[in-house]
Amino acid sequence: MTTARPVPALPDGVTVEELERLCVEVAVEASRFIRDERPPRMGVAATKSTETDVVTVMDRRSEELLHRLIQAARPDDGILGEEGADVTGTSGLTWVLDPIDGTVNYLYEIPAYAVSVAVVVGDAHSQGGWTPVAGAVADPCRRLVHHAGRGTGAWTSPEDPTESVAPERLSVSAEDRLARTLLATGFGYAPEVRARQAEVLRRVLPLVRDIRRIGSAALDLVRVAEGSVDAYAETGLNAWDLAAGWLVVEEAGGVVVGAGEEPGSAPGTALTVAAGPALVDQVRALFVAPVDAAG
């Protein structure tokens, strides 16, 4: 069963619309930056959790840029970023940033990566303790930005606001049968996590139309929102991978849930499932069944 999420209160004088506009502005600026300023022969700058969990110089520079722009516009807000930004604010709002989501694609020049920027209410460090109120996922390769504000719908706009192309409203697919579901998923960086994810897929793959591993959780969520996949499920995500995409899916009429038993449990590291209302519980059931039941 799924329920609509309550709209959290914003600080006095702050509107969802202005936060959404700022999300779009800064995400597009970082998106242009990682596309247009990519150094020639760019390599790996460092590794994080495992040898396959890479950081490029542009992940760091993109986060620095976002940090600067947000602090200039909203100096009292907190900031939490994948590459280490961790500022405690005083306004009750925190910006949750993935400066390049899909870093491995970026490294290999596979055109599926994004900049993800969200504003959340609550404690961004605690699983289930926060809710997104505005967000943008900027796609440098398609020169588009997908965005939403709580209660304002989900939209795709050209990255160049002077282009005379009207924003397109997003809406999730109406698919209600697993056998016809195109399911996006992804894998963590740790070998033991991947081994478990492979076991789950062994059970899931025969039951769905097919799976897609696109390589950017933010873009996977946008695809659910625009109906270009029917569902998405992944374990191991961090707040920055999912914060903006979560809101975009909900504002496109979809449902995003986690592993918890309670209705509408928050998505997060244990599990993130996104789909239309007729499908989401069926997909979730596949991913919460014990792994040793695979076969």
The answer to whether 62 contacts ligand IPD (rule: CB under 6 A) is no
The answer to whether 217 contacts ligand IPD (rule: CB under 6 A) is yes
Instruction: State the nearest-atom distance from the C-beta of 50 to ligand IPD, in Å.
Output: 11
Q: Which is nearer to ligand IPD, 58 or 121 (CB)?
A: 58
Site string for ligand IPD, 223-242 (x = CB under 6 A): -----------x-xx---x-
The answer to whether 216 contacts ligand IPD (rule: CB under 6 A) is yes
The answer to whether 186 contacts ligand IPD (rule: CB under 6 A) is yes
Among 188, 254, 267, 268, binds ligand IPD (CB under 6 A): 188
The answer to whether 250 contacts ligand IPD (rule: CB under 6 A) is no
Q: Which is nearer to ligand IPD, 63 or 121 (CB)?
A: 63
Which listed range, 16-24, 154-162, 215-223, 262-270, lies at the site for ligand IPD (CB under 6 A)?
A: 215-223
Number of H helices and number of E strands within the chain? Answer: 7, 15
Contacts of 121 (CB under 8 A, 6+ apart): 8, 9, 10, 92, 93, 94, 130, 131, 133
The answer to whether 101 contacts ligand IPD (rule: CB under 6 A) is yes
Q: Which is nearer to ligand IPD, 94 or 216 (CB)?
A: 216
CB 229 within 8 A of CB 182: yes
- Separation in Å, CA 69 to CA 28, 29, 44, 157, 250: 12, 9, 25, 21, 27
| Residue bearing tokens 């405690």 | 88
Burial classification of residue 86, based on how many CB atoms lie within 10 Å of its CB (0-12 exposed, 13-18 middle, 19 or more buried): exposed
d(CA 144, CA 31) in angstroms, rounded, equals: 9
Among 31, 103, 131, 197, binds ligand IPD (CB under 6 A): 103
Task: Give the length of the chain.
Answer: 295
d(CA 210, CA 205) in angstroms, rounded, equals: 7
Contacts to ligand IPD by CB under 6 A: 82, 98, 101-103, 186-188, 215-217, 234, 236-237, 241
